């Protein structure tokens, strides 16, 4: 029996981040995975990032994680989505070479100090007196550890559906993890089922790209990682293509609804609302004339293409028929058929904000086992579980990112307080403070935390602090300098194509115009020429959204002040209008001492906190 500090079960996106973080924090770590070849594998689409998901990737990077670096090394197309909209809703997205991504990630993991890898299936979680102490594998090996992190993905009792054909497995031709589900049930966890799916892959030689719209990457691609050298970043970019379904496609699919596992009762798990299968789309939106199909290369060699938007579990003959009805895919040869997969998950309300389970001390969950969908959501949970497992072993306070500090904080808070009945996906709309939590400032927000934990290196941290100093210097200048509407100033504004000013104002108000860019900024405020492009970009954003940013900061300060309020020991929750019976029961059972403690109870929403706060004030006035 070998002993470790941390054992991570599963080598997917959550598992690699968890294992890497724990090992980097000095903990002797073991990663147990079914197939070493598949460490870090992208199981479904060949892309990282996107709207809100790009935020998560950059936050993982700021904490010292791997996903952004792997993407920069394996990316074959880079785009910023919503680039013409406000900075809060922009999202970086990259097509990746799926093979190179996996190889890069596996190589990194196999070369990380303090980290060992073993190819075994975990059958049992070993627990004594309510505390985890190890695992037992299918090879009858026992490994002991002070903390266990489960990142099982779609493998717990995984069941794949190819039309009427059902195959057990977590991915095609990979075994399911069945005994670990039983082990968790024996420990008192209630398992539920979710469903996700993937699409067919097409032989590139059989696609007629001339019938499709070309979608190139950005002309000047930007790397994901703050640690990637921008001066040397010049990836070879491949185009994606867009085509569309049509009435014929829809007729073929609808005429085979009776053969769709999704509708016959064969599939029991609930699928992702925001990434539905094509048959689910047509069922829910029967009048829509067409749907996008994004044709994406899977590797730099571009021998296979992924049909994003056509996830399906329909029978193979139906898949061939409806794919052949789509422009450009008339002669398409399917290399791999699409399928759906069902798997076990556990309601995340069983977790603390640290991602440690409430039932078993030292046991952490991360990724799809918590009801999420997406590589980025899994990786974000993984790094937090790895960090908190290491901190627990050191008997230190867990790292809990608040909703106003990170998208990761929003993700975890949503999961552990609200739970989920469908695969949870991150959106910018989920964040109340999205103007503060932008992609572009992730390194400034979280870099110091990554450095303090030992996950971010000294050189990177120094770069972050230099950037912070530059921004502060620039903002001090534009905030404290007042501009008078004299001939010289208005002539300069006119020369820049800008509207003249009529009254004295802060320089920030001119710099914050939506028509101002870096070139105009440097011409109008030459004192800023010594600053980096990154600092100039932040100065423009901070100036442009100054009023809204200050408003959000004030809301956060008010919330912090409110959450520090003490709840009287004899406070009565029963009879308060607006509090559900479930919330009242939980509050009376826990008896939180402050509103902050109340806010951390699963199911107690921000609205409930507001109501309790109001009644505390009413009681104070009456006493």
Mean pLDDT over 292-302 rounds to 97
**HSE value, Cβ hemisphere, 13 Å, CA-based, for 511:** 31
Mean pLDDT over 338-358 rounds to 96
Measured distance CA(469)–CA(441) in Å, rounded: 14
> Which string of b and e fits 261-288 if b means at least 16 CB within 10 Å?
bbeeebbebbbbeebbbbbbbbbeeeee
Mean pLDDT over 8-19 rounds to 98
Q: Is residue 458 part of a domain?
A: no
Please provide residue 330's backbone torsions phi and psi, each rounded to the nearest 5 degrees. Answer: -60, -35
Place of tokens 């007729």: 251
What is the reported pLDDT for 528?
96
Residue 474, pLDDT > 80, answer yes
Residue with the bigger pLDDT between 273 and 222: it is 222
Which range, of 256-260, 404-408, 428-432, averages the lowest pLDDT? 428-432
3-state class (DSSP) for residue 191: strand
CATH number at residue 360: 3.50.50.60
Q: Is residue 557 part of a domain?
A: no
Q: Structurally, how many domains does the chain consist of? A: 4
Q: Is residue 559 part of a domain?
A: no
Measured distance CA(344)–CA(161) in Å, rounded: 15
Measured distance CA(232)–CA(550) in Å, rounded: 37
What is the reported pLDDT for 327?
98
**Where a domain ends, among 408, 423, 452?**
452
Q: Which tens digit of pLDDT belongs to each residue from 443-460? A: 999 999 999 999 999 999
Residues 6+ away with beta carbon under 8 Å from 21: 63, 64, 65, 382, 383, 386, 387, 390, 453, 455
What is the reported pLDDT for 562?
80
By percentage, how much of the chain surpasses pLDDT 70? 100
Residues 290, 274 within the same domain: yes
What does the mean pLDDT of the chain come to? 95
3-state class (DSSP) for residue 297: strand
Question: Torsion angle, CA of 38/44/47/49, rounded to 10 degrees?
Answer: -100
What is the reported pLDDT for 14?
98
Q: Across 59-73, 415-429, 600-614, which has the greatest mean pLDDT?
A: 59-73
Q: Which domain holds residue 527?
A: 466-551
* Band of pLDDT at residue 140, cut at 50, 70 and 90: very high
Residue 188, pLDDT > 90, answer yes
What is the reported pLDDT for 589?
85
Sign, CA torsion 157/158/163/167: negative
What DSSP state is assigned to residue 237?
-
Place of tokens 């790397």: 223
Measured distance CA(547)–CA(551) in Å, rounded: 6
Q: Which tens digit of pLDDT belongs to each residue from 75-87? A: 999 999 999 898 9
Please provide residue 93's backbone torsions phi and psi, each rounded to the nearest 5 degrees. Answer: -140, 140
Sign, CA torsion 495/499/503/509: negative
Spatial contact of 145 and 3, defined as CB atoms under 8 Å apart: yes
What is the reported pLDDT for 392?
98
Q: Is residue 214 part of a domain?
A: yes
What DSSP state is assigned to residue 235?
-
Residues 570, 541 within the same domain: no
Q: Is residue 31 part of a domain?
A: yes
What is the reported pLDDT for 601?
81
Mean pLDDT over 244-269 rounds to 96
What is the reported pLDDT for 274?
81
Residues 190, 64 within the same domain: yes
Please provide residue 384's backbone torsions phi and psi, each rounded to the nearest 5 degrees. Answer: -70, -40
Q: Which tens digit of pLDDT belongs to each residue from 490-503? A: 999 999 999 999 99
Residue 603, pLDDT > 80, answer no
Sign, CA torsion 64/404/152/374: negative
Distance of alpha carbon 558 from its chain centroid, rounded? Answer: 28
Mean pLDDT over 239-263 rounds to 97
Residue 373, pLDDT > 80, answer yes
Please provide residue 459's backbone torsions phi and psi, each rounded to the nearest 5 degrees. Answer: -60, -45
- The end-to-end CA distance of the chain, in Å, is 63
Spatial contact of 445 and 406, defined as CB atoms under 8 Å apart: yes
Other beta carbons within 10 angstroms of residue 213's beta carbon come to 14
Identify any residues that bridge with 356 across adjacent strands, giving them in sequence order: 364
What is the reported pLDDT for 1?
74
Beta-strand ranges (E) seen in 434-538 are: 482-483, 505-506
**HSE value, Cβ hemisphere, 13 Å, CA-based, for 406:** 29
Please provide residue 325's backbone torsions phi and psi, each rounded to the nearest 5 degrees. Answer: -85, -5
Q: Which tens digit of pLDDT belongs to each residue from 511-551? A: 999 999 999 999 999 999 999 999 999 999 999 999 999 99
Residues 186, 117 within the same domain: yes
Spatial contact of 5 and 146, defined as CB atoms under 8 Å apart: yes
Mean pLDDT over 99-114 rounds to 98
Measured distance CA(209)–CA(214) in Å, rounded: 8
Sign, CA torsion 341/338/97/447: negative
Among residues 349, 348, 438, 72, which one has the least CA distance to residue 237? 72
CATH number at residue 303: 2.40.30.260
Residues 299, 324 within the same domain: yes
Residue 227, pLDDT > 90, answer yes
Which range, of 99-108, 169-178, 268-277, 279-288, averages the lowest pLDDT? 268-277
What is the reported pLDDT for 342?
97
Residues 331, 427 within the same domain: no
Residue 564, pLDDT > 90, answer no
What is the reported pLDDT for 296?
98
Residues 400, 373 within the same domain: yes
**Joined tokens for residue 472:** 């502060």
Measured distance CA(443)–CA(464) in Å, rounded: 7
Place of tokens 């552990």: 416
**Where a domain ends, among 311, 339, 367?**
339
Residues 422, 470 within the same domain: no
Spatial contact of 307 and 241, defined as CB atoms under 8 Å apart: no
CATH number at residue 521: 1.10.10.1800
Measured distance CA(196)–CA(205) in Å, rounded: 29
Q: Is residue 558 part of a domain?
A: no
Among residues 21, 59, 61, which one has the least CA distance to residue 408? 59
Spatial contact of 119 and 319, defined as CB atoms under 8 Å apart: no
Residue 358, pLDDT > 90, answer yes
Q: Is residue 20 part of a domain?
A: yes
Residues 313, 387 within the same domain: no
Q: Is residue 377 part of a domain?
A: yes
3-state class (DSSP) for residue 269: coil
Beta-strand ranges (E) seen in 180-239 are: 191-198, 201-203, 213-215
Residues 237, 368 within the same domain: no
**Where a domain ends, among 300, 324, 339?**
339
* Band of pLDDT at residue 505, cut at 50, 70 and 90: very high
Please provide residue 265's backbone torsions phi and psi, each rounded to the nearest 5 degrees. Answer: 95, -5
By percentage, how much of the chain surpasses pLDDT 90? 89
Global pTM exceeds 0.85: yes
Other beta carbons within 10 angstroms of residue 60's beta carbon come to 30
> Which string of b and e fits 422-436 if b means at least 16 CB within 10 Å?
ebbbbebebbbbbbb
Q: How far is CA 552 from CA 247, 392, 412, 614, in A?
A: 47, 33, 21, 21
Laid out side by side, the sheet with 75-81 consists of: 47-49, 91-96, 75-81
Residues 9, 135 within the same domain: yes
What DSSP state is assigned to residue 190?
P
SS3 content of the chain, % helix, strand, coil (to 5): 40, 20, 40
Among residues 392, 343, 398, which one has the least CA distance to residue 368? 343
What is the reported pLDDT for 604?
83
* Band of pLDDT at residue 434, cut at 50, 70 and 90: very high
What is the reported pLDDT for 623?
73
Which range, of 252-266, 378-392, 417-431, averages the lowest pLDDT? 417-431
Residues 166, 187 within the same domain: yes
């Amino acid at each position: 029996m070998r002993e470790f500090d941390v054992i991570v079960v599963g080598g997917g996106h959550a598992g690699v981040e968890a294992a890497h973080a724990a090992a980097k924090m000095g903990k002797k770590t073991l990663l147990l995975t079914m197939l070493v070849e598949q460490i870090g594998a992208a199981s479904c689409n060949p892309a990282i990032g996107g709207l809100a998901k790009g935020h998560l990737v950059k936050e993982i990077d700021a904490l010292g994680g791997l996903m952004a670096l792997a993407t920069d090394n394996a990316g074959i197309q880079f785009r910023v989505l919503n680039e013409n909209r406000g900075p809060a809703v922009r999202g970086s997205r990259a097509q990746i070479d799926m093979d190179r991504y996996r190889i890069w990630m596996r190589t990194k993991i196999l070369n990380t100090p303090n980290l060992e890898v073993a190819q075994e299936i975990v059958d049992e979680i070993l627990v004594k007196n309510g505390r985890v102490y190890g695992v037992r594998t299918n090879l009858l090996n026992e490994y002991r550890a002070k903390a266990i992190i489960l990142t099982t993905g779609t493998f717990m009792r995984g069941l794949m559906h190819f039309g009427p054909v059902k195959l057990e497995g977590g991915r095609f031709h990979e075994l399911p993890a069945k005994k670990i589900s039983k082990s968790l049930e024996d420990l008192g966890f209630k398992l539920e089922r979710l469903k996700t799916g993937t699409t067919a892959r097409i032989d590139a030689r059989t696609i007629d790209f001339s019938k499709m719209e070309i979608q190139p990457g950005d002309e000047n691609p930007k790397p994901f990682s703050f640690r990637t050298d921008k001066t040397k970043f010049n990836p070879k970019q491949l185009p994606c293509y867009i085509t569309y379904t049509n009435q014929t496609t829809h007729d073929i699919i609808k005429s085979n609804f009776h053969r769709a596992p999704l509708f016959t009762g064969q599939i029991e798990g609930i699928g992702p609302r925001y990434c539905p299968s094509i048959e689910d789309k047509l069922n829910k939106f029967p009048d829509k004339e067409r749907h996008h199909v994004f044709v994406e290369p899977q590797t730099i060699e571009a021998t296979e293409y992924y049909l994003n938007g056509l996830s399906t579990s329909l029978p193979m003959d139906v898949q061939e028929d409806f794919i052949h009805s789509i422009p450009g895919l008339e002669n398409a040869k399917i290399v791999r058929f699409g399928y759906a997969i069902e798997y076990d998950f556990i309601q995340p309300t069983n977790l603390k904000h640290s991602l440690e389970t409430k039932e078993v001390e030292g046991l952490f969950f991360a990724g799809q086992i918590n009801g999420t969908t997406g590589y980025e959501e899994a990786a974000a949970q993984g790094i937090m579980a790895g960090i908190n497992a290491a901190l627990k072993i050191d008997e230190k306070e867990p790292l809990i990112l608040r909703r106003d500090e990170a998208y990761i904080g929003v993700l975890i808070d949503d999961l552990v307080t609200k739970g989920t009945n469908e695969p949870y996906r991150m959106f910018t709309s989920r964040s109340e403070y999205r103007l503060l939590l932008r992609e572009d400032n992730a390194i400034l927000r979280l870099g110091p935390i990554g450095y303090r934990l030992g996950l971010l290196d000294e050189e990177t941290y120094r770069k972050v602090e230099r950037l912070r100093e530059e921004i502060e210097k620039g903002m001090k200048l534009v905030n404290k300098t007042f501009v008078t509407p004299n001939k010289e100033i208005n002539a300069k504004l006119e020369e820049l194509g800008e509207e003249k000013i009529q009254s004295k104002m802060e320089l920030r108000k001119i710099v914050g115009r939506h028509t101002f860019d870096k070139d105009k900024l440097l011409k109008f405020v030459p004192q800023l020429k010594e600053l980096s492009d990154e600092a100039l970009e932040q100065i423009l954003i901070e100036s442009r959204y100054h009023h809204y940013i200050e408003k959000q900061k004030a809301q956060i300060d008010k919330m912090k002040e409110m959450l520090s309020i003490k709840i009287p020991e004899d406070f009565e929750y029963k009879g308060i209008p607006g509090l559900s019976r479930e919330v009242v029961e939980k509050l009376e059972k826990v008896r939180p001492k402050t509103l902050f403690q109340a806010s951390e109870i699963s199911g107690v929403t921000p609205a409930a906190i507001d109501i309790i706060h109001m009644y505390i004030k009413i009681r104070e006035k009456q006493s």
